[in-house]
């Protein structure tokens, strides 16, 4: 071994207690460094310092959030755990969906890397969450992406939007994972801190569940996949020299480059390993790389592990031991294999042309020993690295500015006085709303994602939830939706988190699935700011309370802190993903009506709730209180939607959320290019509101459904029996096409070439959305407004 | 945790298994090979399509030295070797490709070969079909339901369609713009080897709106859109060329792609 | 028309998946002896008129701002191409 650095061995560390160590540069606080010395009874070696510093980082240790996150566990009841096969704490939670099938899903952030290099940041974000799913033993079956960008017209948004969308698309498409939904939000509050949250979901048989632990003394530890490079350790360049006094120039990349092809091969290779039952435990390598994998595997298993670090295959031969331990190179996995299975393991690696190296073995010493060419450079209790990091009770307090903000209701504003009121004004307002950056069609984004691959996608965007068939024989399947509203959370973080869960829950139920479990990605500013910390604490309290009320457990997730620029934090953004289950995806409900003459019903009541709404946002107003959320109403609405779907009473359903009834009606009509005649007078009278509020209020607990004439009595009886407010507001208008122009009837829907429609459609009656007594809008005009926005900005 | 031995047995489903889940799914019918290269994505979908059409899907690995006596071969879509060099450029050198090329060129009973998307790109790199694919005109990956016109209903893969028939199947790719020299294009047109053409506006800038072509014998067909994603009601395009004529608006019920797979079964029976 | 050629390569320390896939394929088609492949990009900027130092400076700026992403790529060459031999690297190298 050529000497390229002075190796800092355990022996050396014991005899040189006075050596100055760059703990501060590595992000450790003084008290944390002292704690490391206390644990070890000596100063750490360079390699140990590297391990503790990455594993005790905010990102890996959750040191600021842990005390609050406990609520997700504390507020789980036995009933909520009924379908949980694996709860919080593993790579991802696992939910029993019946028939011996299990589903694992998780949402995770990759925010700051996506700001630095949008394409690679977003791509590796998808790659990382997919590896979490594989490491549970599951085949990944779909991804989703919840994206938040700065202002649509800000020059930097071009770079970030193009990069992130093609990064998510390129990685997910190359893995053969359908992208079935997510969110795209534009708000200048995210200008310096775009949010890229990626969700992945996988399925497996119960017996295939794998956990990240190193069991069985004498079993072998193997690292496989991509080689280890200097990725992601740019910030830790002080480790480029182990002696800490050298000025060796560091060439450590600040960003990681994803290799989706390598990951696709890794997926297939892992699934073959699982099928052949040749791995005992498995762990993906993400943040903190080998440090994390070895310490977590060891502490979750028999308690000890012995590793020879020079066996790691390197892309960059100049890496020091500390850097190898910290490297975040992508597309790597670590597994524990019995000696008897080693040959079978190697055969599978060879088939897929995947590189691997045997690093060491499982021991029962309770110590994680890492050697470099036979010399001990790490000797630690792995639990102290992986699980016993610092925990902080950060101070927090309610911001003083909040009272004033909450008192500034939209109703009291000049913008409200100038609200659209006449039919013509309301018509223009609807067009303005559905062409606005947040409410416009996201086809420009989603058309860059493959939604067909694997052949099991039953619904995808723009429907309320993505729906995937799990079992081809029975039709058993799942639905997923992610939601958050940063404006609601900014006005009231406790309610905002509950609203995020309510919407995701409602979306899943709207598709017809029974909500089962939650994964969350909590995006906030700096925890060292007591006001941000208060927002964080309130959000968790709200989400945990709401989960308990709705009876859906949080199975895992991720916290992303320090999303702030120049002292200004992003709005609190708790992105909530809800997983639901179908007995048979064939009965899923799409978000658009299709059948002529079907009755259109509005479920729920509309109150005067415009604070934090999209309309207020369009008028530059943010103040007041977000819409009230009553989770018992949400629960009943969801039951109605699920029953109506199961019993074939409804053929379309779409929830009401951002943009209110106006957005819902427009989206339902545009989904299949089928018009409708709607009246809102009765609604206004019943709920005591004007037409503007009827169309733009964002009251919760509402949905619009279309009901076949033959099912109307049964449907209204069901609603009446439960005392749930329901109002017939209109009828679907889709007259049969004359046979002579039959060939053109199939066109005009999203995704089908529109120019063709225009050529052939002239002779037909133009479908319209007719809000009687107010306005009539042709679907062509609605579509032009809805679909023109993103292409106009992004080409 | 100790892993237990597992047999998926009777509950086999494609989400847990590979192409094998469909292997032998049909009691009778021809054996259609579905080739998996590293980075292939739509192999299980192609196998499902074969099974739904009534054939028996046989999974073939790119490194295999034998075609396992299959009667026809599908090269499915995906990003083999990441499409990193050029789409299809590395896969073209797979050991199995030599066997496929020879069998496809056999003077008697040449092997029917269908290349879908990345498979089409492999066929052009292997020179079984002329032309090449470059990035879409708009430079983006594009996923949408695409209307096509069947221009040649006499190939091994299109004989169950009628000439001029309109079908809707998904189009999804990054490098989908078909290009070739003018004289090659003229030759393709002249010999009736343009098999599918985009209807309406050209989605990706392909020369003369060409979506799929065949070799002179008509046994080798390549196309960029994905027929294997339009074979099962409920999981296909929202609209279909044949179903939408009755004034109703279907939900993901398009199955126009099935015709390619029933065609090859038909051609194998009748040849 | 005179041209300026700009070569952009992934930074040596950055993973190059493209190069890696090609390097893996070479021995499979019987071409051994190559330990690594890295794939870069070549741009040719055709200049309207004479190539002055100012034009070259513009090309250098274009190379480092638009043509490459300094986070993951290096500009390895900005040179004037000798038009007489367009495929050649040519003389008149100015870096």
Report which of residues B109 and C72 the model is more confident about. B109
**Of the listed B62, B226, B229, B232, which one is catalytic?**
B226
Q: What's the whole-number mean pLDDT along residues A667-680?
A: 96
The length of chain B is: 271
**Of the listed A59, A68, A761, A786, which one is catalytic?**
A59
Q: Chain B within 8 Å of C29 (Cβ-Cβ)? A: yes
**Of the listed A68, A110, A306, A726, which one is catalytic?**
A110
Q: Is the predicted pLDDT of residue B112 greater than 90, yes or no?
A: yes
What pLDDT digit, counting tens, does each position of A85-105 carry?
A: 887 766 778 999 999 999 999
The length of chain C is: 95
Contact C17, A261 (CB under 8 A): yes
Which residues in chain C touch residue A231, judged by CB atoms under 8 angstroms apart?
Answer: 15
Q: Which residues of B68-78 are buried (b: 16+ CB within 10 A; e: fewer)?
A: eebbbbbbbbb
The length of chain A is: 795
Partners of chain A (3+ Cβ pairs below 8 A): B, C
Q: What angle do CA A149, A150, A154 make, to 5 degrees?
A: 130
Closest partner residue to A257 among C12, C21, C72, by Cβ? Answer: C72
What pLDDT digit, counting tens, does each position of A596-650 carry?
A: 999 999 999 999 999 999 999 999 999 999 999 999 999 999 999 999 999 999 9
Q: What angle do CA B96, B100, B102 make, to 5 degrees?
A: 120
Domain boundaries, chain B: 19-270
Minimal CA separation from C13 to chain A, in Å: 6
Please provide the average confidence, as pLDDT, over all residues in chain C: 84
Q: What's the whole-number mean pLDDT along residues A400-419?
A: 97
pLDDT at A1: 42
pLDDT at C88: 44
Q: With pLDDT > 70 as the criterion, what percentage of chain A qualifies?
A: 93
pLDDT at C11: 87
Please tell me which residue of chain A has the smallest CA distance to B14: A472
Q: Is the predicted pLDDT of residue A686 greater than 60, yes or no?
A: yes
Nearest to A177 by CA among B78, B191, B7: B78
Q: Answer whether the bond into residue A504 is a cis peptide, omega within 30°.
A: no
Q: What's the whole-number mean pLDDT along residues A402-425?
A: 97
> Residue C65 sits in which domain range?
3-13+39-81
What pLDDT digit, counting tens, does each position of A491-506 carry?
A: 999 999 999 999 999 9
Closest partner residue to A277 among B6, B44, B48, by Cβ? Answer: B6
Q: Is the predicted pLDDT of residue A586 greater than 80, yes or no?
A: yes
Confidence of residue B249 (pLDDT cuts 50, 70, 90): low
Confidence of residue C21 (pLDDT cuts 50, 70, 90): confident
Which residues in chain A touch residue B251, judged by CB atoms under 8 angstroms apart?
Answer: 590, 594, 672
Minimal CA separation from B108 to chain A, in Å: 34
Please provide the average confidence, as pLDDT, over all residues in chain B: 87
Q: Is the predicted pLDDT of residue A755 greater than 70, yes or no?
A: no
Confidence of residue A131 (pLDDT cuts 50, 70, 90): very high
Closest partner residue to B82 among A261, A279, A756, by Cβ? Answer: A261
Partners of chain C (3+ Cβ pairs below 8 A): A, B
Q: Three-class SS of residue A157?
A: helix
Are A450 and B172 in contact (CB < 8 Å)?
yes
Which residues in chain B touch residue A591, judged by CB atoms under 8 angstroms apart?
Answer: none
Confidence of residue A239 (pLDDT cuts 50, 70, 90): low
Q: Is the predicted pLDDT of residue B14 greater than 70, yes or no?
A: no
In this structure, is residue C7 part of a structural domain?
A: yes
Q: Is the predicted pLDDT of residue A29 greater than 90, yes or no?
A: yes
pLDDT at B243: 46
Would you tell me the crossing angle of helices A260-275 and A342-351 to the nearest 10 degrees? 140
Q: What's the whole-number mean pLDDT along residues A198-226?
A: 91
Are C13 and A330 in contact (CB < 8 Å)?
no
What pLDDT digit, counting tens, does each position of A160-176 carry?
A: 999 999 999 999 999 99
pLDDT at B269: 85
Q: What's the whole-number mean pLDDT along residues A420-436?
A: 98
Please provide the average confidence, as pLDDT, over all residues in chain A: 92
pLDDT at B204: 95
Q: What's the whole-number mean pLDDT along residues A464-472?
A: 97
pLDDT at A269: 95
Tell me whether residue A110 is one of the annotated catalytic residues: yes
Q: Is the predicted pLDDT of residue A762 greater than 80, yes or no?
A: no
Q: Three-class SS of residue A663?
A: helix
Maximum distance among all Cα pairs of chain B, rounded to whole angstroms: 65
- DSSP class of A436: S
Confidence of residue C70 (pLDDT cuts 50, 70, 90): confident
Which residues in chain B touch residue A351, judged by CB atoms under 8 angstroms apart?
Answer: 63
pLDDT at A590: 95
CA–CA dist A603, A718 (Å, integer): 12
In this structure, is residue C70 part of a structural domain?
A: yes
pLDDT at B265: 95
Which residues in chain B touch residue A265, judged by CB atoms under 8 angstroms apart?
Answer: 38-39
Torsion of CA A677, A683, A689, A692, to 10 degrees: -10
Contact A162, A222 (CB under 8 A): no
What pLDDT digit, counting tens, does each position of A695-735 carry?
A: 999 999 999 999 999 999 999 999 999 999 999 999 999 87
- Structural domain count, chain C: 1
Domain formed by A10-63+211-386, architecture: Alpha-Beta Complex (3.90)
Q: What's the whole-number mean pLDDT along residues B234-253?
A: 68
Poorest-pLDDT segment among A226-240, B184-198, C17-31 = A226-240
Q: With pLDDT > 90 as the criterion, what percentage of chain A qualifies?
A: 84
Are A795 and B138 in contact (CB < 8 Å)?
yes
What pLDDT digit, counting tens, does each position of B169-210 carry?
A: 999 999 999 999 999 999 999 999 999 999 999 999 999 999
Chain C segment 64-93 residues within 8 A of A by beta carbon are: 69, 71-72
Q: Chain C within 8 Å of B63 (Cβ-Cβ)? A: no
Which residues in chain C touch residue A262, judged by CB atoms under 8 angstroms apart?
Answer: 17, 20
Helices (H), A143-259: 155-175
DSSP-assigned letters across all residues of chain B: --------GGG--TTTS-GGGGBT-SSSS-EEEEEE-TTB-SHHHHHHHHHHHT-EEEEEETT-S--TT-SEEEE--B-GGGG-SSTTTTGGGSHHHHHHHHHHT-SSSPPPEEEETHHHHHHHHTTSS--EEE--TTSS-EEEEEEEEE----STTTTTS-TT-EEEEEEEESS-EEE--HHHHHHHHHTT-EEEEE-SS-SS--GGGEEEEE-TTSSEEEESS-GGGSSSTTSS-SS-TTGGGGS---SS---TTHHHHHHHHHHHHH-
Are A449 and B244 in contact (CB < 8 Å)?
no
Which residues in chain B touch residue A750, judged by CB atoms under 8 angstroms apart?
Answer: 238
Nearest to A99 by CA among A482, A657, A517, A471: A471
Q: Is the predicted pLDDT of residue A209 greater than 80, yes or no?
A: yes
Tell me whether residue B228 is one of the annotated catalytic residues: yes
Q: What's the whole-number mean pLDDT along residues A95-121?
A: 94
Chain C segment 49-88 residues within 8 A of B by beta carbon are: none
Tally Cβ neighbours within 10 Å of residue A333: 24
**Of the listed B23, B125, B151, B228, which one is catalytic?**
B228
CA–CA dist A346, A331 (Å, integer): 18
What pLDDT digit, counting tens, does each position of A496-542 carry?
A: 999 999 999 999 999 999 999 999 999 999 999 999 999 999 999 99
In this structure, is residue C22 part of a structural domain?
A: no
Confidence of residue A745 (pLDDT cuts 50, 70, 90): very low
Provide CATH code, domain B19-270: 3.40.50.880
Are C17 and B81 in contact (CB < 8 Å)?
no
Please tell me which residue of chain C has the smallest CA distance to B83: C18
Q: Is the predicted pLDDT of residue A558 greater than 80, yes or no?
A: yes
């Amino acid at each position: 071994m050529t000497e390229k650095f002075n190796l800092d061995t355990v022996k050396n560390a014991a005899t040189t207690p006075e050596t100055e160590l760059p703990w501060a540069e590595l992000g450790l606080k003084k008290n944390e460094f002292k704690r490391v010395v206390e644990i070890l009874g000596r100063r750490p070696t360079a390699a140990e310092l590297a391990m503790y510093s990455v594993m005790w980082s905010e990102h890996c240790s959750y040191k600021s959030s842990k005390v609050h996150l406990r609520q997700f566990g504390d507020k789980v009841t036995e009933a909520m755990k009924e379908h949980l096969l694996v709860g919080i704490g593993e790579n991802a939670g696992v939910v029993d969906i019946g028939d011996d099938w299990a589903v694992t899903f998780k949402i995770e952030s990759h925010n700051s890397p996506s700001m630095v290099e949008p394409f690679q940041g977003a791509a590796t974000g998808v790659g990382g969450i997919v590896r979490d799913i594989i490491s549970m033993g599951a085949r990944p079956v779909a991804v989703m992406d919840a994206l938040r960008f700065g202002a649509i017209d800000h020059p930097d948004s071009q770079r970030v939007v193009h990069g992130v969308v093609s990064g998510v698309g390129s990685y997910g498409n190359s893995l053969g994972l359908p992208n079935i939904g997510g969110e795209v939000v534009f708000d200048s509050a995210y200008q310096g801190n775009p949010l890229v949250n990626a969700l992945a979901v996988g399925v497996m048989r119960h017996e295939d569940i794998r956990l990240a632990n190193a069991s069985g003394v004498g079993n072998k530890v193997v690292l496989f996949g991509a080689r280890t490079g200097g990725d992601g350790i740019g910030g830790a360049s002080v480790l480029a020299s182990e002696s800490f006094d050298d000025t060796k120039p560091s060439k450590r990349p600040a960003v990681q480059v994803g290799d989706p092809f390598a990951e696709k091969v890794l997926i297939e290779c892992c699934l073959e390993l699982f099928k052949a039952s040749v791995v005992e435990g498995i762990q993906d390598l993400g943040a903190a790389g080998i440090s994390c994998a070895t310490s977590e595997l060891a502490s979750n298993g028999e308690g000890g592990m012995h590793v020879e670090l020079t066996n790691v295959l390197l892309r960059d031969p100049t890496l020091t031991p500390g850097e190898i331990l910290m490297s975040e190179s992508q597309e790597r996995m670590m597994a524990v294999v019995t000696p008897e299975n080693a040959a079978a393991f190697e055969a599978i690696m060879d088939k897929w042309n995947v590189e691997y190296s045997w690093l060491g073995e499982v021991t029962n010493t309770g110590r994680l020993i890492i050697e470099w060419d036979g010399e001990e450079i790490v000797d630690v209790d792995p639990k102290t690295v992986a699980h016993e990091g610092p925990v902080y009770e950060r101070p927090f307090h309610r911001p003083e500015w909040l009272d004033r903000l909450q008192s500034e209701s939209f109703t009291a504003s000049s913008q409200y006085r100038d609200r659209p009121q006449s039919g013509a004004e309301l018509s223009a307002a609807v067009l303005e709303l559905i062409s606005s950056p947040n409410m416009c069609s996201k086809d420009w984004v989603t058309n860059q994602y493959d939604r067909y691959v694997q052949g099991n996608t039953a619904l995808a965007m723009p429907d309320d939830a993505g729906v995937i068939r799990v079992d081809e024989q029975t039709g058993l399947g799942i639905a997923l939706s992610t939601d958050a509203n940063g404006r609601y959370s900014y006005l009231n973080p406790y309610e905002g988190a509950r609203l995020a869960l309510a919407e995701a829950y409602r979306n899943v139920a709207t598709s017809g699935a029974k909500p089962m479990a939650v994964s969350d990605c909590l995006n906030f500013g700096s925890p060292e700011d007591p006001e941000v910390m208060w927002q964080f604490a309130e959000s968790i309290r709200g989400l945990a309370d709401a989960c308990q009320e709705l009876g859906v457990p949080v199975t895992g997730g991720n916290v992303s802190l320090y999303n702030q620029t120049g002292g200004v934090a992003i709005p609190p953004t708790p992105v909530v993903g809800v997983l639901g289950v179908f007995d048979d995806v064939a009965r899923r409900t799409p978000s658009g009506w299709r059948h002529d003459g079907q009755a259109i019903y509005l479920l729920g009541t509309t109150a005067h709730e415009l604070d934090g709404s999209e309309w207020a946002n369009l008028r530059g107003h943010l103040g007041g209180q977000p819409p009230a959320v009553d989770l018992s109403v949400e629960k009943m609405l969801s039951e109605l939607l699920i029953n109506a779907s199961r019993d074939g009473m409804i053929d379309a359903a779409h929830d009401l959320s951002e943009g209110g009834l106006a957005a819902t009606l427009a989206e339902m009509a545009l989904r299949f290019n089928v018009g409708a005649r709607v009246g809102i007078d009765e609604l206004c009278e019943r709920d005591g509101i004007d037409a503007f509020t009827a169309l733009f209020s964002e009251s919760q607990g509402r949905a619009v459904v279309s009901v076949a004439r033959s099912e109307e009595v049964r449907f209204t009886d069901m609603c009446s029996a439960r005392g749930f407010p329901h109002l017939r507001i209109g009828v679907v208008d889709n007259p049969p096409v004359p046979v002579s122009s039959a060939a053109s009837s199939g066109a005009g829907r999203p995704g089908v070439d529109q120019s063709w429609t225009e050529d052939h459609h002239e002779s037909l009656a133009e479908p319209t959305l007719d809000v009687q007594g107010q306005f009539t809008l042709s679907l062509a005009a609605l579509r032009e407004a809805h679909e023109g926005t993103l292409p106009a900005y992004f080409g | 945790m100790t892993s237990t031995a597992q047999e998926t047995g009777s509950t086999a489903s494609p989400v847990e298994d590979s192409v094998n889940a469909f292997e032998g799914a049909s009691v009778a019918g021809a054996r259609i090979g579905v080739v998996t290269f590293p980075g292939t994505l739509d192999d299980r979908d192609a196998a499902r399509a074969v099974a739904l059409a009534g054939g028996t899907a046989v999974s073939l690995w790119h490194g295999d030295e034998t075609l396992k006596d299959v009667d026809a071969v599908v090269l499915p879509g995906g990003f083999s070797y990441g499409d990193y060099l050029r789409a299809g450029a590395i896969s073209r050198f797979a050991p199995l490709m030599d066997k496929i090329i020879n069998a496809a060129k056999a003077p008697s009973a040449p092997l029917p070969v269908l290349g879908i998307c990345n498979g089409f790109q492999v066929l052009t790199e292997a020179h079984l079909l002329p032309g090449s694919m470059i990035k879409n005109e708009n430079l983006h990956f594009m996923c949408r339901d695409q209307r096509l016109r069947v221009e040649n209903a006499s190939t091994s893969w299109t004989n169950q369609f009628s000439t001029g028939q309109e079908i809707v199947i998904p189009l999804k790719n990054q490098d989908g713009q078909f290009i070739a020299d003018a004289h090659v294009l003229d030759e393709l047109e002249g010999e009736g080897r343009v098999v599918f053409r985009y209807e309406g506006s050209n989605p990706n800038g392909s020369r003369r709106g060409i979506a799929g072509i065949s070799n002179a014998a008509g046994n080798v067909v390549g196309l960029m859109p994905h027929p294997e994603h339009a074979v099962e009601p409920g999981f296909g395009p929202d609209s279909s060329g044949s179903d939408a004529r009755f004034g109703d608006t279907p939900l993901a019920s398009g199955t126009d792609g099935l015709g390619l797979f029933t065609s090859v079964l038909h051609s194998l029976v009748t040849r | 028309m005179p041209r300026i050629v700009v070569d952009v390569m992934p930074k040596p320390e950055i993973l190059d998946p493209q190069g890696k896939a090609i390097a893996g394929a070479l021995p499979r088609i019987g071409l051994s002896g190559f330990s690594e492949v890295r794939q870069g990009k070549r741009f040719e900027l055709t200049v309207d008129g004479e190539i002055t130092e100012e034009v070259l400076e513009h090309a250098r700026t274009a190379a480092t701002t638009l043509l490459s992403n300094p986070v993951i790529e290096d500009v390895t060459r900005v040179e004037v191409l000798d038009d007489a031999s367009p495929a050649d690297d040519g003389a008149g190298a100015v870096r």
